[in-house]
Amino acid sequence: MTIGSGETPQLELRGITKQYPGCLANDHIDLKIMPGEIHALLGENGAGKSTLVKTIYGVLEADEGEIFWAGELVKIPNPHAARKIGIGMVFQHFSLFEAMTVTENIALGMSGRQDMKALEKQIIEVSSNYGLPLEPRRQVHTLSVGEKQRIEIVRCLLQDPKLLIMDEPTSVLTPQEAAKMFETLRRLSSEGVSILYISHKLDEIKALCHKATILRGGKYISECDPTLETAKSLAEMMIGTDLHAPEHNIEENTGPIRLKVRNLSVDADIEFGINLSTINFEVHSGEILGIAGVAGNGQVELLSALNGETKCEDGEAIELDGKAIGRLGPNQRRNLGLAFVPEDRLGHGSVPEMMLTENAFLSGYSRMQLMNSGFINTGATAAYAKEIVDKFDVRTPGIHHTANSLSGGNLQKFIVGREVLQKPNVIIVAHPTWGVDAGAAASIHQTLIDLAEAGGAVLVVSQDLDELFAISGRIAVIADGRLSVSRNLKEITIEEIGLLMGGTHSMGETGGRSHVA
């Protein structure tokens, strides 16, 4: 680490302000990053982190404020200019082109002309040098998420960056992959590269970062040394209030079995889909079962088989309270008491352009009796939507606003609340707090725990191990379309789960093959 107090900062922001219609995204934000410093940028969703880093990378232009690069005032009108002075960025949602090769993707992220042959050599050189193995000629869509991220990192490294911006880089990685990436980052830091690190995983930030800047509601709140703070104190600075960890006193699973899955096998109907092979598990009344796994290992297929979007050939493969439902559609399953919260909030969990009342109706019309002989009972529907908003603290100007006007966290609270109010026997929730801020996440977790304590069965599919450890009683891991046997939380460590996520079925019922290269 080479942070001297007398040095000029590599990057300094003074009074960066960005106004969107109806929203002040950045309000006079200051930030200083020294050479070789790993600097965390912390904040809830909507705190203005993304706006700020996009300003630094030249994707957005600030309305006000100055940027100093190594002590000199600079203008960064576009990403080409940012790359030219030595700023690289790894995006949260990768900026990759699926139908192209690794080399082509890297060439696109570099300014000027490239000789493809020479570039391939460089890629192999840099990637092996930093322990980020890549095959230059592979098509991107055939790669795992971890490999895709490597492309983005190598793309930045090839341009000798002085500042690397990373937007939530570990949200898609296994613990082992994340640990490997930290090594790379620490090495870059020791070579004098500054890193601006955005994440909501506070433990990571404590372990990796030298400094942290906290934003809230578009404003600069404070700068601190994360190693001296606790995860709780960081979170409280972020959300500005005291944070209550979800209370969790679920006993061993003694209740009757509510959801039972026996030898469920489904062939993926799309290209690059994952085939599910002989999946077995059950969820008891009063418990939360967590399914961990890196995205793209069959979660989408499993969820769609469970909620009825894909019907099973063997109707007996899925049983709800002893009733075979494998061949029923989503509505029939819902009527029997199976609720579902999908991964994609906008477009799958809700109709983006429709009002909250309409979205409430679409899911709850039958169980909440919102329909009168084919007509919508608008009074009852509005009351239902109002109840969701009030009970689950959904912050919205009103129930007649569209779903896409809500922030991610608020919409997720709305969707979870909508399903929970229907008093389901079993609820299946996919990635409940993905991209949701700490406050909303805590409230969603509490809702799920309350439902389980009231005798419901909850199945949570998530990539976020911290989340699964916080709320579930048992955990199983899905890798390459196979599900490991589930284990009680007390008997399993994060490392073991990490290995299972990588496809090593040491404790599963089926011999797995290695999935992550």
Q: How many residues bind other proteins (CB under 8 A)?
A: 28
Query: 66: how many CB neighbours lie within 10 A of its CB?
Result: 13
Does residue 25 interact with other proteins by CB under 8 A? yes
Cα 169 from Cα 183, distance rounded (Å): 13
Strands 87-90 and 11-20: unpaired
Helix (H, G, I), strand (E, B) or coil at 260: strand
Half-sphere exposure of 9 (CA within 13 A, CB side): 16
Does residue 113 interact with other proteins by CB under 8 A? yes
Of 91-99, 186-194, 348-356, 472-480: span binding other proteins (CB under 8 A): 91-99
Binding mask 130-159 for other proteins (x = CB under 8 A): ------------------------------
Q: Do the beta carbons of residue 286 and residue 452 sit within 8 Å?
A: yes
Does residue 118 interact with other proteins by CB under 8 A? no
Cα 418 from Cα 444, distance rounded (Å): 12
Does residue 74 interact with other proteins by CB under 8 A? no
- Token pair 């969107």 in the structure block, residue: 20
Name which position in 30, 64, 66, 98 contacts other proteins (CB under 8 A). 98
In whole angstroms, the minimum distance from the beta carbon of 109 to other proteins comes to 5
Distances from the Cα of 39 to the Cαs of 6, 187, 189, 209, 285, in angstroms?
A: 18, 15, 10, 6, 45
In whole angstroms, the minimum distance from the beta carbon of 95 to other proteins comes to 4
Nearer to other proteins among residue 94 and residue 130 (C-beta): 94
Of 99-107, 124-132, 237-245, 353-361: span binding other proteins (CB under 8 A): 99-107
Neighbour-count burial for 223-235, b at 16+ CB within 10 Å, e otherwise: ebebeebebeebb
Nearer to other proteins among residue 55 and residue 412 (C-beta): 55
Name which position in 2, 64, 74, 78 contacts other proteins (CB under 8 A). 78
Of 58-66, 239-247, 346-354, 508-516: span binding other proteins (CB under 8 A): 58-66
Name which position in 35, 43, 58, 136 contacts other proteins (CB under 8 A). 58
Q: What is the 3-state secondary structure (H, E, C) of 148-210?
A: HHHHHHHHHHCCCCCEEEEECHHHHCCHHHHHHHHHHHHHHHHCCCEEEEECCCHHHHHHHCC
In whole angstroms, the minimum distance from the beta carbon of 271 to other proteins comes to 5
Nearer to other proteins among residue 160 and residue 271 (C-beta): 271
Helix (H, G, I), strand (E, B) or coil at 265: strand
Per CB under 8 A, contacts with other proteins among 310-369 are none
Per CB under 8 A, contacts with other proteins among 249-288 are 271
Strands 257-266 and 318-320: antiparallel
Nearer to other proteins among residue 116 and residue 454 (C-beta): 116
Residues that bind other proteins (CB under 8 A): 20, 25, 51, 54, 58-60, 78-80, 82-83, 91, 93-100, 104, 107-109, 113-114, 271
